[in-house]
Amino acid sequence: MNQYYQKDLYAILGIEPDADEAQIKSAYRKQARRWHPDVNDNSQESILRFKEITEAYEVLTDEQRRSQYDILKGFNFKSSYSSTSKTQAKKAYSQSESAQTKTDFKPEQKTKTEEKHHDKSSFSQVFENILDGLFTNDSQKNSRTKTEKKKLKPENGRDINLNVTIKISEAISGTNRTVNVLHSERCPKCEGRRFINGAKCPLCKGSGEVSIHKKLNVKIPVGVKKGAKIRIANEGNKGYNGGKSGDLYLFIDIEESSFFKYEGNNVLCEIPITPFEAVLGANIEVPTLCGNVSMKIPPYTSTGQKFRLSQQGTSNGKNNKKGDQIVTVKIVVPKEMTAKEIELYEQLKLISKHNVRENLLND
């Protein structure tokens, strides 16, 4: 049987016996903050004190149990809790004492000493019966009711966000990617309560949760944009008590490229060409997001001239209409040349009659 009837529950919470419910709750919050095991490095003293003030709070906030406790402890005062509950408690006490006396008392077989001893025993038995109901049965019943309600309440799982980086070519053509997802689930040992017998759960270390890794093969759609969010249903954290599991959200990042730039759905790039390709024209290979394509350079092409490669850009994601690739050419002179090449340039210099700088101030 619980022995808390031998202690002063009001003193444990630091309040007067005529305290109302609001004062009891306020005192409990203050004591709980002070003695919570997490705040006191899980010391044995804090665990015992926290358990003591919690049980005191549970008794004093229950009208019937508080009324019974006050009767047993002899607190005679006008309190703010229900007088009906106190009357019922006195009635129950009286009935229990009467029933016990009628059952056990046999005057023709007992001396006065025995009768006195019997009266004490009867009172003691009644006392224990009341306290058993006060501290054990009701407490366990309330605990089971709270637990059952908690189990019946659905709890949805949390969503998980994950960043995924892909290449430009993968964004254009789509791809599959294996991702490692870290799920958090309720600790199976302490069932999320964090403490077992007043000590931190050894499995979850007092967090109430455990981590589980899961590998998923996810599809990255064609034409995905940087910053896009992809939802994978029911692959978030697990739901409980019939609650739905959360979702997994993939946030897409695309690797930067020193060659390709973007302007809406168009892809921009710059291609170097040699002086003789610029003068004579040529067919050159140009890299695109989907591989190399051939592009024609007409004769007399200048640096900065732009060419369009149709439908070699990115998709707009709505009607799958693709943009174009805009190619800017740049004439580049090789840093190293053979003697024959230099000789030919010398000959070109001698026979050339063009002055490309003569109209600089007239433009």
CATH number, domain of 70, equals 1.10.287.110
Tell me how crowded residue 211 is: count the other CB atoms within 10 A of its CB.
10
Q: What are the backbone dihedrals phi and psi of residue 87, each rounded to the nearest 5 degrees, phi first?
A: -65, -45
Do both 188 and 280 map to the same domain?
Answer: no
d(CA 157, CA 243): 7
Of 104, 130, 152, the last residue of a domain is: 152
Do both 233 and 210 map to the same domain?
Answer: yes
Helix (H, G, I), strand (E, B) or coil at 70: helix
Do both 201 and 175 map to the same domain?
Answer: yes
Report how many domains make up the chain. Answer: 3
DSSP string, 96-134: HHHHHHHHH--GGG--HHHHHHHHHHHHHHHHHHHHIII
Helix (H, G, I), strand (E, B) or coil at 141: helix
Q: Count the alpha carbons within 13 Å of 158 in the hemisphere toward its beta carbon.
A: 8
Tokens of 2: 């619980």
Query: Does residue 339 form part of some domain?
Result: yes
Query: Does residue 358 form part of some domain?
Result: no
Q: What is the dihedral of CA 341, 342, 345, 349, to 10 degrees?
A: -170
Q: Which residues pair with 326 in a beta bridge?
A: 268, 308
Q: What are the backbone dihedrals phi and psi of residue 96, each rounded to the nearest 5 degrees, phi first?
A: -65, -40
Do both 125 and 54 map to the same domain?
Answer: yes
Do both 168 and 248 map to the same domain?
Answer: yes
Tell me how crowded residue 250 is: count the other CB atoms within 10 A of its CB.
22
d(CA 79, CA 60): 12
- Reference 308, options 338, 268, 335; nearest CA is 268
Predicted local confidence at residue 350, as pLDDT: 92
Domain CATH for 299: 2.60.260.20
Return the exposure string of 110-122: e unless at least 16 CB atoms fall within 10 Å of the residue's CB, then b: eeeeeeeebeeeb
Of 254, 270, 295, the last residue of a domain is: 254
- Reference 285, options 258, 309, 303; nearest CA is 309
- Reference 289, options 178, 165, 164, 174; nearest CA is 174
DSSP string, 159-171: PEEEEEEE-HHHH
Query: Does residue 309 form part of some domain?
Result: yes
Do both 339 and 309 map to the same domain?
Answer: yes
Predicted local confidence at residue 340, as pLDDT: 94
Query: Does residue 87 form part of some domain?
Result: yes
Query: Does residue 363 form part of some domain?
Result: no
Do both 199 and 147 map to the same domain?
Answer: no
Do both 47 and 13 map to the same domain?
Answer: yes
Tokens of 81: 């809790």
Predicted local confidence at residue 124, as pLDDT: 46
What digits encode the pLDDT tens for the residues 269-317?
A: 999 999 999 999 999 999 988 889 999 999 999 999 999 999 888 876 5
**Domain coverage including residue 213:** 160-254
Return the exposure string of 168-187: e unless at least 16 CB atoms fall within 10 Å of the residue's CB, then b: bebbbeebeeebebebbebb
Do both 19 and 123 map to the same domain?
Answer: yes
Element (H, E) at 151: helix 138-152
Do both 172 and 235 map to the same domain?
Answer: yes
Do both 331 and 296 map to the same domain?
Answer: yes
Query: Does residue 59 form part of some domain?
Result: yes
Query: Does residue 279 form part of some domain?
Result: yes
Q: Is the pTM of the predicted complex or chain greater than 0.85? A: no
Do both 34 and 90 map to the same domain?
Answer: yes
d(CA 100, CA 124): 10
Query: Does residue 357 form part of some domain?
Result: no
Question: What is the full per-residue pLDDT of the chain (363 aa) written as tens digits?
Answer: 456 567 888 888 889 888 898 999 899 888 888 888 877 877 888 888 888 888 888 888 888 888 888 887 777 544 444 444 444 444 444 443 443 334 343 434 444 444 444 444 444 444 444 444 444 444 554 555 555 445 558 888 889 999 999 988 788 778 999 999 988 888 888 888 888 877 888 888 888 888 888 899 999 988 788 889 999 999 988 888 788 889 999 999 988 788 888 888 889 999 999 999 999 999 999 998 888 999 999 999 999 999 999 988 887 656 677 889 999 999 999 999 999 999 999 999 999 888 888 888 876
Q: Which residues pair with 179 in a beta bridge?
A: 216
Predicted local confidence at residue 154, as pLDDT: 85
d(CA 189, CA 202): 9
Tell me how crowded residue 314 is: count the other CB atoms within 10 A of its CB.
23
Q: How many residues does the chain have?
A: 363
- Reference 251, options 166, 162, 312, 135; nearest CA is 162
Q: For residues 349 and 336, is the Cβ–Cβ distance under 8 A?
A: no
- Reference 192, options 236, 240, 226; nearest CA is 240
Q: What is the dihedral of CA 139, 143, 144, 146, to 10 degrees?
A: 140
Of 152, 177, 193, the last residue of a domain is: 152
Q: Count the alpha carbons within 13 Å of 238 in the hemisphere toward its beta carbon.
A: 15
